[in-house]
Amino acid sequence: DAGVIQSPRHEVTEMGQEVTLRCKPISGHNSLFWYRQTMMRGLELLIYFNNNVPIDDSGMPEDRFSAKMPNASFSTLKIQPSEPRDSAVYFCASSPDWTDYEQYFGPGTRLTVT
Amino acid sequence: AQKVTQAQTEISVVEKEDVTLDCVYETRDTTYYLFWYKQPPSGELVFLIRRNSFDEQNEISGRYSWNFQKSTSSFNFTITASQVVDSAVYFCALRPFHNTDKLIFGTGTRLQVFP
């Protein structure tokens, strides 16, 4: 079975450019999570969706960040405009229905903003 | 407050040694879940175990074992006869039952196993 799929795996962009990260959750999973990992702040939850609806976006750093989940099999995290401090590894994770609580993580997207 | 503390930043051992990674948590919820994840050098996060607050039985899976003690709010992870492939960062996480679906991660413990 396919796990969580993220693309691209690596992204290098210049400050001010728009960046879009993509995620395909595990089929049948109802919850999807976006995390950011940096050396300074560790793993931070940015936003999560349940049944395609955003439930909690309190972790989104600022208005430059936005996330969408147009259907059960696809989500995007967009940064516009990007800044060097956005450089991090961004993980997408998905979780089965409410009776089960493990989150399964994708391989991550390493973003470098120069 | 909901918090996970992994006081050991980095541990180095020689292959075949046993090693214990500590995890201490704080929560006001009486129902909660605890997790361990492994992050090898390749970067992905791998789920290892989930434990709910009603189940204090220790768990063993091969060389891995977990000791959950509510009295001390700890959920420690032991690797027996460590191997080089165990080298990774290990994260402990907490999910309070009434606090939506958020996982609260500790800062991680980097384990290096030398041959």
**pLDDT tens by residue, B9-49:** 999 999 999 999 999 999 988 889 999 999 999 999 999 99
In angstroms, the CA A35 to CA A105 distance is 10
**pLDDT tens by residue, B80-112:** 999 999 999 999 999 887 656 678 999 999 999
The pLDDT value given to residue A56: 87
In angstroms, the CA A95 to CA A30 distance is 6
**pLDDT tens by residue, A60-74:** 988 999 999 999 999
In angstroms, the CA B9 to CA A2 distance is 33
The pLDDT value given to residue A2: 82
**pLDDT tens by residue, B59-79:** 888 999 999 999 999 999 999
Among chain B residues, CA nearest to A4: B44
A6 touches chain B (CB under 8 A): no
What is the DSSP pairing of strand A65-71 with strand B10-14?
A: unpaired
- Kindly write down the DSSP assignment for every residue of A74-93, as one continuous string: EEEEEESS--GGG-EEEEEE
Q: Which two structure tokens, joined as six digits, stand for B50? A: 């989930």
The pLDDT value given to residue B57: 83
**pLDDT tens by residue, A20-73:** 999 999 999 999 999 999 999 999 999 999 999 998 898 998 899 999 999 999
Residues of A in contact with B107 (CB under 8 A): 42
Residue % of chain A over a pLDDT of 70: 95
The pLDDT value given to residue B1: 78
Would you say A44 and A93 are in contact if contact means Cβ atoms under 8 Å apart? no
Residues of B in contact with A108 (CB under 8 A): 43-45
Identify which of A48, A56, A105 has the shortest CB distance to residue B45: A105
Q: How far apart are the first and last CA of chain A?
A: 36
The pLDDT value given to residue A98: 55
Furthest C-alpha separation in chain B = 44
